[in-house]
Structure 1
Amino acid sequence: MALRDLVLGETVGVAVTARGDVVQWGDGYDAAARQPEVTLAGKNVSRAVISGGCVYALAAKGDRVWVLPAAKADPTPARSFAPALGRRETVTALEAGDAHLVALTSAGRVFTALTGLAPVTSTEGQLGVPVLLDGSSTAEPNEFYLVHSLAAVDAVQVAAGAHHTLVRSADGAVWSFGENSHGQLGFDYTDATAFVPVPTEVPFDLKYRRRVHAAVDYIAAGANQSFFRVARSDVPAKDLWVSGDGLFGQHGTGRFAHVLGRPSVVRAITDLSEYSEADRALVPIPLRYLSIGPTHVAAAFDNAPDPDHTPAGGHSGRIVSVWGGNESYQLGTGKRNNVAVPVAPLDLAADRSANSRLVLPTVRTRAGVLESTVVAGHLATAVYCRPT
């Protein structure tokens, strides 16, 4: 079955079917349920996230977000809400932390919202607006706030960790705000920077020589980590930087560190290369995307397809790397030890004696092109087929 989206929460799983319906399962949804159940039908949903004990689903039209309880026993009915959108403006991306949403619109504007079903009394500054910073009041969840301090920024990507937010602009700059207890905002933790409620630019230009133009072209966040991919003007390879919590090895740098404020390069990803027959030389293998769970990370790459095993209109298989916590065997290595450098998960569907590594093929079917996609969830990793 093809899925538009898949989320593996701590006690609840959520998927969006190819028809745009939301299905849920797990002990946190209904311990007695024997199979996934449809919980939101006929709304043509494209994206789902879990936050604040609720499931949030973005309509494919980008005109609204649906919210429904994660637990089946909660009688609260599903309802929708939306940012104050302009004419022909739509929500193009929706990300979630433990207690907040971040929405990006087609006009390059950024909105944030508190999540849950009850009034909220405090935040860590992850909204980027002056709401609930002094603990003297309450605010209702499921209401979007425009991040006014980013009004002059043409935002093209957003990311959310547990209690922090990242925003990337079209010119390659990054702003971060929220909790910085592990250095996840991209700068050192101090008493003054423990919580940063105002979007603050992460100075990546200071990490390169003056004549080197550096621009961030991809960001990712999860739990208390942040990743930044930087394109450089002097070399074709792109650097992947990481900051935040790495106690389980989720930095991918070979070290186990609880706090990392100044971003460090993940060399194993930056230096990944393959031989190109056309160029007759080693060329970088670009990172396609990251999926970040509470303690581990999964990465997919845009390696060149195998010409002898590539279906028409598809891809023979994108390589996958994983690293970080492995307490529940979520790395798929066949072992249970935590790993502080990127490694390849095993393909258990292949001949185990061959020690085959997992790859993500893309195939053309009667229903269209389906891309295998890897997801890092709560102590678990999954692969599903997503329409492109």
Structure 2
Amino acid sequence: MDGWGANTFGQLGDGTNGDSNVPMPVTMLAAAVRTTAAGGGHSLARLDGDTVQCWGGNSSGQLGDGSNNDSNVPVTVIGLSGVDAVAGGGSHSLALLDNGTVQAWGSNASGQLGDGTNNDSNVPVGAGGFPDTVVKVACGGEHSLALLDSGEVMAWGANTQGQLGDGTLNDSAIPVSVSGVTNAMDIAGGRDHSLAVLADGTVLAWGGNGAGQLGDGTNNPNSVPVGVFNLTGVTAVDAGSGGNFSLALLGDDGTIQAWGDNSSGQLGDGTNNPSNVPVAVQNLASSVLALAAGSSHSLALLSDNTLQVWGDNGLGQLGDGTNNSSNVPVTLGSPTAVIFLAAGDSHSLAV
């Protein structure tokens, strides 16, 4: 497993706090990594044996090791086993267990842990109130999302821009139902917006929209889901927990559409102009299997298991050996044979 980009808090996990514009191996992992996730300034890995290790910033307990001390090497999340997936928010973390329940830890000022309180926790606590089995979790900046087996979506935490999608602007410390979503198959959270892919390949979005990140042709926030303009055939979406843009993978042809903030070229369309409707990412070398969004940069895993990256590169988060931003994808020479990727605010991870 490798990391690159910002490393102020140790989020690259290489035992240093120095930024790197090339991939660096994560050290001291307890077992082989199966999947990974990234928060604003911290990183998570689900290991063989379905336990979790985290590293990076820990001021709110987002590493889950019982302390509030940053760590530049992986530490084990206390008491977690049977983990199927992990997700990272601005300063909080989620784990989906194999029994369909959710554990959460870290910052909770807006209720993003979903345990009915606003108390931070440096060890996992149960997020409660789901009427059905949870099959996927996602984090925004200060909110959380869960996709249920029924196709419904629930959300909790900050809601000042309507990112919970329940028709209000009220924060919630327990999960609430996103209005009108009954057949979702993927979810993602941005800094203050949320996304859901429906079974028919269309996308709904809700929350903040100042940069056009809802993709509905306006810049108006919305506290209930709205359709992303003229977008079909989508199989996956992502939006960084610190970002105001969105990415969508079109499954039929392996291309990417992007919308929202583009000040660093993170839409990958060859411009730095924001767009409130989807635009095509240019110059992709082959079909895309998976994608990830940071605060202002983007990553794509290609069909040959290599990576392309674009957007902000001031801290080396593109990993191409430079600190030059790019508004079109550039190919990363290493690592190769990637199977999973993730993006934090200004760092990147690959397994």
Query: Does TM-score exceed 0.5, indicating one fold?
Result: yes
Match of 1:251 among 250, 264, 267: 267
Residue 342 of structure 1, CA deviation: 0.5
For 1:101, the aligned partner's letter is S
Correspondent of 2:180 among 121, 146, 149: 149
Equivalent residues in 2 for 1:93-104, closer than 5 Å: 93-104=136-147
The separation in 1 between residues aligned to 2:161 and 2:325, in whole angstroms, is 29
Please tell me whether the aligned partners of residues 22 and 41 of structure 1 are also in contact (alpha carbons under 8 angstroms): no
Report the Cα offset of residue 339 of structure 1: 0.7
Distance 1:131 1:339, change over 3 A: same
Determine the C-alpha separation between the residues in 2 that align with 1:11 and 1:172: 32
- Deviations 1:196-249, CA, capped at 9 Å, x for gaps: 1111112316xxxxxxxx533332222111123346xxxx74542211011111
Larger Cα-atom Rg? 1
Q: Assess if the C-alpha contact under 8 Å between 2:265 and 2:312 holds in 1.
A: yes
Note if contact 1:83-1:111 (Cα within 8 Å) is conserved in structure 2.
no
CA–CA distance in 2 between the matches of 1:185 and 1:156? 18
Partner of 2:282: 267
The 8 Å contact of residues 229 and 277 in structure 2, kept in 1 or not, is answered as no
Aligned to 2:336: 359
Q: Deviations over 1:7-48 (max 9, x none)?
A: 333433332222222323324355575642222234322222
Q: Are the counterparts in 2 of residues 227 and 240 from structure 1 also a CA contact under 8 Å?
A: yes
What is the one-letter code of the residue matched to 1:85? P
C-alpha RMSD over aligned residues: 2.5
| Superposed counterparts of 1:1-388, under 5 Å | 1-28=31-58, 30-31=68-69, 33=71, 35-51=73-89, 53-62=91-100, 64-69=101-106, 77-86=123-132, 90-114=133-157, 123-132=160-169, 139-141=171-173, 143-150=174-181, 153-190=182-219, 193=220, 195-204=221-230, 214-222=232-240, 223-230=243-250, 237=253, 239-257=255-273, 259-269=274-284, 272=285, 285-303=286-304, 318-347=305-334, 358-360=335-337, 372-384=339-351
TM-score by length of structure 2 reads 0.77
Change (3 A) 1:26 1:149: same
Structure (1 or 2) with the greater helix fraction: 1
Q: Which runs of 5+ in 1 are unaligned?
A: 115-119, 134-138, 206-213, 273-284, 304-317, 348-357, 362-371
Provide the rounded CA distance (Å) in 1 between the counterparts of 2:161 and 2:138.
17
Q: Report the CA distance shift for 1:42/1:340 in structure 2 as closer, same or farther (over 3 A).
A: closer
Relative distance call for 1:66 and 1:262 in structure 2 (3 A) is same
Residues 216 and 277 in structure 2, CA contact (< 8 A), matched pair in contact too = yes
Describe the SS at the equivalent of 2:156.
Answer: strand
* Structure 2: runs of 5+ lacking an equivalent: 1-30, 60-67, 109-119
For 1:126 and 1:70, how far apart are their aligned partners in 2? 17
In structure 1, the residue corresponding to 2:237 is in which secondary structure? strand
Match of 1:307 in 2: none
Percent sequence identity over aligned pairs: 26
Q: Report the alpha carbon displacement of residue 70 of structure 1 after superposing the two structures with TM.
A: 6.2
* Cα distance change of structure 1 residues 140 and 382 upon mapping to structure 2, 3 Å threshold: closer
- TM-aligned CA distance change 1:360 to 1:238, over 3 Å: closer
Q: Distance in 2 between matches of 1:20 and 1:328?
A: 32
| Deviation (angstroms), 1:101 | 1.1
Whether the 8 Å CA contact 2:342–2:348 is kept in 1: the answer is yes
Q: Confirm or deny: 8 A CA contact 2:215 2:276 kept in the other structure.
A: yes
CA offset at residue 149 of structure 1? 1.6
1:253 Cα deviation from its structure 2 partner: 1.0
Contact kept? 2:206, 2:224, Cα under 8 Å: yes
Looking at structure 1, the residues matched to 206 and 307 of structure 2 have their Cα atoms a distance apart, in angstroms, of 30
The answer on whether the counterparts of 1:20 and 1:41 sit within 8 Å (CA) in structure 2 is: no
Counterpart secondary structure, 1:158 = strand
**Alpha-carbon separation, structure 1, partners of 2:165 and 2:57:** 34
- Displacement after TM superposition at 1:298 (Å): 1.0
**Residues in 2 aligned to 1:84 and 1:33: alpha-carbon distance in whole angstroms:** 33
Aligned residue pairs: how many? 300
Q: Is the 8 A contact 2:58 2:71 kept in 1?
A: no
TM-score, normalised to structure 1, is 0.70
Confirm or deny: 8 A CA contact 1:46 1:60 kept in the other structure.
Answer: yes
Contact 1:360 1:373 in 2 (8 A): no
